[in-house]
A and B are shown apart, each in its own frame.
Chain A
Amino acid sequence: MKNHFSLPTRIIKQLAGKRLLKRELPVNHQTYQSLTKLKLLHPIQPIIKKGFHYECQRCHNTKRSLFGMYPCSRCNQTHRYCRKCITMGRVSDCEKLYEWHGPEPNWPTHQQPCTWKGKLTIEQERAAKRIVTAIQLKEKEILIHAVCGSGKTEMLFQGITYALQLGMRLCIATPRSDVVRELFPRLKRAFQTVSIQALYGESRDKSGSAQLIIATTHQLLRYIHAFDVVIVDEIDAFPYHKDISLPIVTKRALKPSGTRIYLTATPRDDQKQRMKYQHLPHIFIAKRYHNHPLPVPQMKLTISLQKNLAHKQFPKSFLRWYFTREHSERQVLVFVPTIQIAEALKQTFTTLHSEIRSTFVHSKDPNREEKVDLFRKKKIDVLFTTTILERGVTFPAIDVAVLNAGHHVFDEAALVQIAGRAGRSPDDPDGDVIFFHDGKTNAMVQAIQAIKAMNKRGGFK
Chain B
Amino acid sequence: MNDCLWCNQAIIYQPSWRHLFTFVERTTLCDDCQSELELLNGKRCVKCSRKSDMERCLDCQYWSEKLGKDPLTANISVYSYNERMREMIAKWKYRGDYELVYAFRPMFVKVFKNHFLTQLKNFIIVPIPLSEMRLHERGFNQADALARLLPYYQPSILKRLHSEKQAKKTRYERMQTKNPFKLVEPINKPVILVDDIYTTGTTLRHAARLLKNNGCPEVYGYTLVRG
Report A's interface with B, CB cutoff 8 A. Answer: 65-66, 68-74, 79, 81, 83, 86-87, 89-90, 92, 94
Cα of A184 to Cα of B166 in the assembled complex, Å: 37
Chain B residues with CB below 8 A from A94, complex form: 139
Task: Name A90's contact: one of B96, B136, B141, B144 (CB within 8 Å).
Answer: B96
Distance of A66 Cα from B8 Cα, bound (Å): 8
If A74-B139, A87-B91 touch, does A65 touch B98 (CB 8 Å cutoff)? Answer: no
Interface presence of B95 (CB below 8 A):
yes
Q: Are B140 and A72 in contact (CB under 8 A)?
A: yes
B139 touches A73 (CB 8 A): yes
For the complex of A and B, 6 pairs with smallest distance between CB atoms: A70-B98, A68-B99, A65-B3, A90-B96, A86-B95, A72-B139
Number of A-B pairs, beta carbon distance below 8 Å:
44
CB distance from B214 to the nearest CB of A (A): 25
Distance from A187 Cβ to chain B, minimum over Cβ atoms (Å): 31
Size range of the chain B interface in the assembly: 10 to 19
Q: Is the CB of A68 within 8 A of B3?
A: no
A32 to chain B, nearest CB (A): 16
* B59: chain A residues within 8 A (beta carbon): none
Picked from B8, B96, B135, B141, the residue with its CB within 8 Å of the CB of A81 is B96
Tell me how far the C-beta of A75 lies from the nearest C-beta in chain B, rounded to whole angstroms: 9
Is the Cβ of B8 less than 8 Å from the Cβ of A86? no
Residues on the B chain within 8 Å of A86, using CB: 91, 95-97
Q: Say yes or no: is B64 at the interface (Cβ < 8 Å to chain A).
A: no
Query: Nearest Cβ distance between residue B11 and chain A, in whole angstroms?
Result: 10
**20 residue pairs A–B, Cβ–Cβ below 8 Å:** A65-B3, A65-B8, A66-B8, A68-B97, A68-B98, A70-B96, A70-B98, A70-B139, A72-B140, A73-B141, A74-B136, A81-B98, A83-B99, A86-B96, A86-B97, A87-B91, A87-B95, A89-B95, A90-B139, A94-B139
Q: Verify B140–A73 contact, CB threshold 8 A.
A: yes
Interface residues of B (CB under 8 A from A): 2-3, 8, 91, 95-99, 135-136, 139-141, 144
How far does the alpha carbon of A150 sit from the alpha carbon of B173 in the complex, in Å?
58
Query: Measured between alpha carbons, how far is A73 from B2 in the docked complex, in Å?
Result: 28
19 more contacts with CB within 8 A, not counting A68-B97, A74-B139, are A65-B3, A69-B99, A70-B98, A70-B139, A70-B140, A71-B140, A72-B139, A73-B136, A73-B141, A73-B144, A79-B139, A83-B97, A83-B99, A86-B91, A86-B97, A87-B91, A87-B95, A90-B96, A94-B139
Task: Tell me the dominant secondary structure on chain A's binding face.
Answer: mixed
Chain A's nearest CB lies how many Å from the CB of B78? Answer: 22
Q: Give chain B residues whose Cβ lies under 8 Å from the Cβ of A68.
A: 97-99
CA distance A94 to B137 in the complex (A): 12
* Nearest B residue to A78, CB-CB: B98
What distance in Å separates the Cβ of A330 from its nearest Cβ neighbour in chain B?
36
In the complex, what residues of A have CB within 8 A of residue B96's CB? 70, 81, 86, 90
- Measured in the bound complex, the distance between the Cα atoms of B5 and A83 in whole Å is 10
Distance of A36 from chain B, by nearest CB (Å): 20
CB distance B97 to A92 under 8 Å?
A: no
Give the distance to chain B from A24, nearest Cβ to Cβ, in Å. 14
Shortest distance between the CB of A78 and any CB in chain B (Å): 10
Contacts of B144 in A (CB 8 A): 73
Query: Nearest chain-B residue to A364 (Cβ)?
Result: B83
Q: How far is the CA of A81 from the CA of B8 in the complex (A)?
A: 16
Cβ contact within 8 Å between A73 and B135? yes
Distance between A8 CB and nearest chain B CB, rounded to angstroms: 27
- A73–B8 Cα gap in the complex (Å)? 27
Q: How far is the CB of B29 from chain A (nearest CB, A)?
A: 13
Which residues of A sit under 8 angstroms from B98, Cβ to Cβ? 68-71, 81
What residues of chain A lie closer than 8 Å to B99, measured between beta carbons? Answer: 68-70, 83
Please pick, from A72, A74, A79, A90, the residue contacting B95 in the complex, using a CB distance under 8 A.
Answer: A90
Q: How far is the CA of A63 from the CA of B141 in the complex (A)?
A: 26
Query: In the complex, what residues of B have CB within 8 A of residue A89's CB?
Result: 95
